[in-house]
């Protein structure tokens, strides 16, 4: 995770793009990239999408993560720490039911 964050932020900083990365615009970009991901599944079954569009699915998932990393950086959020904390909450909210 640390290597990925470092790489994403280096790509941004080498191009001096941080100045354009307002939090609102990064949040919008996350949703737009998620929509691009969704486009791969529109009007077809999941099986068809996986068969025909797997490369694009991978790339759009990566785009979502890349923007998420940039938004986390702008907001000073440790994304891994927050995701792990949220998983703790999720486990409390949705306990495993005994069978
Ligand atoms: Mg994209």
Residue 12 contacts by C-beta under 8 Å, 6 or more apart in sequence? 18, 21, 70
Q: Look up the CATH architecture of domain 2-93.
A: Orthogonal Bundle (1.10)
CA of 99 to the centre of ligand 1 (A): 42
Position of tokens 């999408």?
A: 49
CA of 5 to the centre of ligand 1 (A): 18
Q: pLDDT tens, 2-13? A: 999 999 999 999
Q: pLDDT tens, 39-74? A: 999 999 999 999 999 999 999 999 999 999 999 999
CA of 6 to the centre of ligand 1 (A): 20
CA of 88 to the centre of ligand 1 (A): 31
Q: Taking 90 as the threshold, does the pLDDT of residue 78 lie above it?
A: yes
In this prediction, residue 1 has a pLDDT band, given cuts at 50, 70 and 90, of confident
Mean pLDDT value across residues 67-89: 97
Residue ranges covered by each domain of the chain: 2-93
């Amino acid at each position: 995770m640390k290597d990925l964050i470092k790489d994403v932020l280096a790509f941004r900083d080498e191009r001096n793009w941080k100045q354009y990365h307002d939090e609102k615009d990064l949040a919008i970009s996350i949703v737009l990239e998620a929509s691009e991901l969704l486009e791969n599944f529109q009007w077809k079954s999941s099986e068809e999408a996986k068969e025909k569009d797997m490369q694009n699915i991978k790339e759009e998932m990566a785009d979502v993560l890349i923007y998420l990393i940039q938004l986390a950086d702008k907001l000073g959020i440790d994304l891994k720490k927050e995701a792990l904390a949220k998983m703790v909450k999720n486990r409390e909210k949705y306990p495993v039911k005994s069978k």
